[in-house]
Structure 1
Amino acid sequence: MKLNLVPARTGVEWVRLGLRNFWRQPLAFVSLFLLFMAVISNVSQLPLVGRFLPLMLLPFSTLAFMVAASVADSAPGNGNGNGNATGDVKKPTGALMFLAVARAMRTEWRSLVVLGLISAVYFFLTVLATAVVDGGQFVRSYFLGEAPAKEVLESSRFQVANMLQLCLTLPLVAAMWHAPALVHWHKVEPVKSIFFSLVAMFRNFSAYALFWLVWCGVVLISLACVALIATVVIGVGSLGSDAGAMAVGNVLMVGTLLALAAMAQASNWFTFRDTFKPD
């Protein structure tokens, strides 16, 4: 396995490929996203460990979407020249994508658990670090579920602590971006995969920065268009049923958010495919 340096414009191409890939199996991608959201929502309700289990599942969801996207990308006639990353030659269907995901989860679960533990421990330390700024208000609100008073929420120290925790989480996102895929496709050890993922993000920073910026633009434009459509629907509904128009508007907005989230996840496979090459 070797690192491939790509030009900045590749970030735009990753978004384009991700959008195209999503529309090959939109229902499968959205279903996969809803499945993980449902699991994360349920485990987050557990006492004590509920704050950390969603982080344990982060590597699993990352690899699941990359595997699903690789299957969709390997469809005959795509012209990508990569072959089938999962060994299947059939036309990709939703069932085939979920089967490939299940196979990957079963094969790599030990390494994914290790990555999940690292994620949870690191996140725990980032939350504790905020105590230096606000004296532990953010820590108590996060771990104990205490609702801070209004004056605490509006205080500069609490807001700085919140921002500090967010900034400290960014390296975790970079570390886990490629680590699960490196474990699966290149058989890299979990700790080494984190290092290689960080190096890849740093060496190709311009491409990844453009990738994120373009996705922000896609999300903003899409939500603006849906908001305009919803406004028209609600306006027309004011002549008839207000409740029905509001329901349609809400469904449009929620459906668009789900689709955009699944699209973004579907595009991550291409960032990995073009960044790491077999020896």
Structure 2
Amino acid sequence: MKLNIVPARTGLLWVKQGMRAFFKQPIALSGLFFMFMAVISMCTILPWIGSVLALVLIPGATLGMMAASHEASRGRFPMPTILVTAFRAGHQQMRSMLVLGALYAAGFVGLLGLTALLDGGQFAQLYLVGGRISADLLNDERFLGAMWLFTLGYLPLSLLFWHAPALVHWDHVPPVKSLFFSLVACWRNKGAFTIFGLAWMGVLTTGLLLASVVGGLLGPLIGSTLVMVAMLVLLAMFFASLVFTFRDCFALQAPVVDTSA
């Protein structure tokens, strides 16, 4: 494994590559992302433990989307089983991925715990148990402070886990070391990741704005459905671009993907 330093403009290339891979297999990648979200949503039905279980599964599911994007970029149709690639590579690899998932859940819950110091746990409870954001909450300075603390704190957490699933699965890096390597790779390539993030913000904002305008002409029910579908499709595109950030940052050959049933 060798860390590769890329120019800042590579961030825009990653966005283009993700979109190109998505449009090679739009139905497959959209369907896989819908499955991803459905599984996470089903987990959260269970009170408290369900939300934690969903967090544990996110790194493995993210790896599945990366593997699917890699297959799509090569013109292959990714089968539904590719979504569980992280858990089909042997006992040791599955254990490492579950450890990584547990670390992610611990970091996420720990961050929620910090927000509880500001608002008494209102923001954390909203995430773990569910509910609606009322007007009173939006006018509560403590709740807003907790929300901003979570938003700012999630950035370093996401960088820690950005490359970690791929490093654990494809390069057999131990979970804890994968977090260190992921953070270093993101920091050393901060220019490219800044461009990458800004470009995706622009794509998401533009896409949702267009969906809102078109939906407004079709009526509230169809409009809200169109915006929801647009959001899911755009997020599927985003996840399709992740594998290219990993491939370029670590100068590895194309990852081997097991597509067997």
Q: TM (normalized to structure 1)?
A: 0.81
Counterpart in the other structure of 1:218: 203
Range that drifts further, 250-259 or 209-218: 250-259
The match for 1:93 is 77
CA drift of 1:139 comes to 4.3
The one-letter code of the counterpart of 2:107 is: Y
Question: 1:247 and 1:270, CA in 2 relative to 1: closer, same or farther beyond 3 A?
Answer: same
Question: Which amino acid is 2:159 matched to?
Answer: A
Q: Match for 1:253 among 227, 240, 247?
A: 227
> What SS does structure 1 have at the residue aligned with 2:163?
helix
Q: Any idea what SS the aligned residue of 1:263 has? A: helix
Q: Distance in 1 between matches of 2:84 and 2:56?
A: 17
Question: Secondary structure of the equivalent of 1:199?
Answer: helix
Q: How is 1:1-279 mapped onto 2 (pairs within 5 angstroms)?
A: 1-75=1-75, 92-95=76-79, 98-107=80-89, 108-143=93-128, 151=136, 153-232=138-217, 234=218, 245-278=219-252
Q: Answer yes or no: is the 8 Å Cα contact 1:3–1:200 preserved in 2.
A: yes
For the residues of structure 1 that align with 2:209 and 2:133, how far apart are their CA atoms? Answer: 33
1:201 maps to a residue whose letter is C
Whole-angstrom CA distance in 2 between matches of 1:127 and 1:36: 23
Q: Structure 1 residues 202, 131: closer, same or farther in 2, change over 3 A?
A: same
Q: Which moved more, 1:202-211 or 1:108-117?
A: 108-117
Task: Could you list the structure 1 runs, at least 4 aligned residues long, displaced by more than 6 angstroms after superposition.
Answer: 146-149
CA gap 1:4/1:226 in 2 versus in 1, 3 angstroms: same
- Give, in whole Å, the separation in 2 of the partners of 1:155 and 1:254: 28
Distance in structure 2 (CA, Å) of the matches to 1:100 and 1:146:
33
Shift of the alpha carbon at 1:254?
2.6
Shift in CA distance, 136/199, structure 1 to aligned 2, threshold 3 Å: same
Largest Rg, 1 or 2: 1
For structure 2, the residue ranges without an aligned partner over 5 or more in a row are 254-261
Identity of aligned residues (%): 43
Q: Which runs of 5+ in 1 are unaligned?
A: 76-91, 235-244
Instruction: Compute the TM-score of the two structures, normalised by the length of structure 2.
Output: 0.86
Deviation digits for residues 125-176 of structure 1, max 9, x if unmatched? 1112123323444445555668788655522122112211222222221111
Q: 2:115, 2:147 within 8 Å by CA — same for their partners in 1?
A: yes
Q: CA RMSD in A?
A: 2.3
